[in-house]
């Protein structure tokens, strides 16, 4: 059971019904999986010279004869601390109790490759990425293997569009084995061929693809001040409805479709969805979270990916 952080806590003891002087406890671990707060009594007696006097219904914690704080003994033979606690203002600066090494930052950055994380550190590309341990990363990396194993890579094209949104690659992924708490079972990606900006939207049904494309188009035109000129897809049914085709024709958007059973022809979007799925799986395996949280993992990865490309929106 790991702790989420370590910091300092101030307690306001109540001794014999009267609030006593405040006491600062250091090296306090935050362990979200624990149901109750725990006080290491033997640590206090051995390291801090605290003397414990136990009575039928009260425990007194004394230092040089003066009672610093008390605990009430309840029927379950447990002592309940007689105090009010509050975190210090700087408690938000707590850090993980795991070693701050490359492996930990590899996990924090959605399982970004170890060489890329090392480059971030070496070139000082980010603020706050501190390494305090030089322990070597796991050479096997089971979470990454679980999320990133593949058979054959898709070949890439050498042609890249010269202007943003000249060509948009799109692919729908799903259905996911488990729906998100909001009821989503699919996601759809829209990737700009020029800038590689990834936009990802969630769907409850495949038939929602047309509606989310209209939302994506409206966002691109209103927020980014660009026009979509061409759309590349795999000619799946969700892209080929009469309403979808009429809308793109009316907007002057050229439609490009891959040949049936040739996903390589839609390789940019197909590979992107595979990469998103791989990283999301690795994140869930690492954190031991159930598949129910796939939507959050996917959103986190796309956010990190776009930030890594320099997008701030």
pLDDT tens profile 225-262 = 889 999 999 888 999 999 999 999 999 999 998 866 56
pLDDT of residue 8: 81
CATH class held by domain 148-308: alpha beta
Q: What is the pLDDT of residue 247?
A: 96
Give the pLDDT of residue 94: 45
User: What pLDDT is stored for residue 90 in this prediction?
Assistant: 44
Q: Which residue has the higher pLDDT, 88 or 192?
A: 192
Q: Helix (H, G, I), strand (E, B), or coil: what is residue 8?
A: strand
Q: What is the mean pLDDT of residues 16-42?
A: 83
Mean pLDDT of the chain: 83
H/E segment holding residue 243: helix 242-250
Output the pLDDT for position 263: 60
Has residue 92 got a pLDDT over 70? no
% of the chain exceeding 70 in pLDDT = 86
User: Which residue(s) pair with 73 in the sheet?
Assistant: 79
Residues 154-169 as b or e (16 or more Cβ within 10 Å = b): eeeeeeeeeebbbbbb
Contact criterion met (CB below 8 Å) for 257 and 281: no
Q: Given 3-state DSSP classes, what are the helix, strand and coil percentages for the chain, each rounded to the nearest 5?
A: 35, 25, 40
Q: What is the pLDDT of residues 103-157, one digit of tens each?
A: 888 887 888 788 888 888 888 877 777 788 888 877 767 777 677 665 455 555 5
pLDDT on residue 100 = 77
Mean of the pLDDT values across residues 74-103? 66
What's the first-to-final CA gap in the chain, in angstroms?
37
Q: Where are the domains of the chain?
A: 5-93, 102-139, 148-308
Helix 209-223 with 242-250: angle, nearest 10 deg: 20
Tens-place pLDDT, residues 257-280: 886 656 667 788 888 999 999 999
Burial of 312 (0-12, 13-18, 19+ CB in 10 A): exposed
Asked if the model's pLDDT at residue 89 lies above 60, the reply is no
- Identify the band that residue 81 occupies on the pLDDT scale cut at 50, 70 and 90: confident
């Amino acid at each position: 059971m790991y702790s989420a952080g370590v910091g300092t806590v101030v307690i306001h003891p109540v001794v014999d019904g009267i609030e006593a002087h405040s006491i600062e406890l250091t090296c306090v671990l935050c362990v979200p999986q624990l149901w109750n707060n725990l006080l290491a009594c033997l640590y206090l007696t051995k390291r801090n010279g605290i003397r414990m006097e136990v009575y039928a219904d009260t425990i007194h914690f004394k230092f040089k004869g003066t009672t610093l704080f008390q605990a009430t003994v309840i029927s379950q033979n447990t002592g309940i601390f007689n105090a009010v606690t509050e975190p210090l203002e700087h408690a938000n600066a707590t850090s993980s109790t795991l070693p701050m090494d490359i492996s930990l930052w590899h996990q924090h950055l959605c399982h970004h490759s170890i060489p890329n994380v090392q480059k971030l550190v070496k070139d000082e590309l980010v603020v706050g990425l501190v390494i305090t341990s030089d322990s070597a990363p796991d050479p096997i990396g089971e979470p990454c293997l679980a999320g990133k194993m593949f058979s054959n890579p898709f070949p890439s094209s050498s042609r890249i569009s010269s202007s943003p949104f000249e060509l948009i690659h799109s692919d729908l992924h799903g259905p996911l084995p488990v729906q998100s708490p909001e009821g989503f079972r699919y996601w759809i990606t829209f990737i700009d061929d020029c800038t590689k900006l990834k936009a990802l939207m969630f769907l409850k049904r495949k038939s929602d693809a047309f509606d989310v494309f209209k939302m994506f188009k409206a966002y691109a035109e209103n927020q980014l001040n660009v026009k979509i000129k061409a759309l590349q897809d795999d000619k799946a049914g969700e892209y080929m409805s009469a309403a979808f085709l009429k809308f793109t024709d009316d907007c002057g958007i050229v439609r490009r479709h891959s040949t049936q059973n040739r996903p390589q022809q839609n390789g940019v979007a197909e590979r992107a969805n595979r990469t998103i799925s791989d990283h999301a799986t690795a994140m869930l395996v690492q954190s031991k979270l159930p598949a129910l949280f796939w939507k959050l993992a996917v959103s986190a990865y796309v956010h990190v990916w776009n930030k890594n490309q320099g997008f701030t929106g």
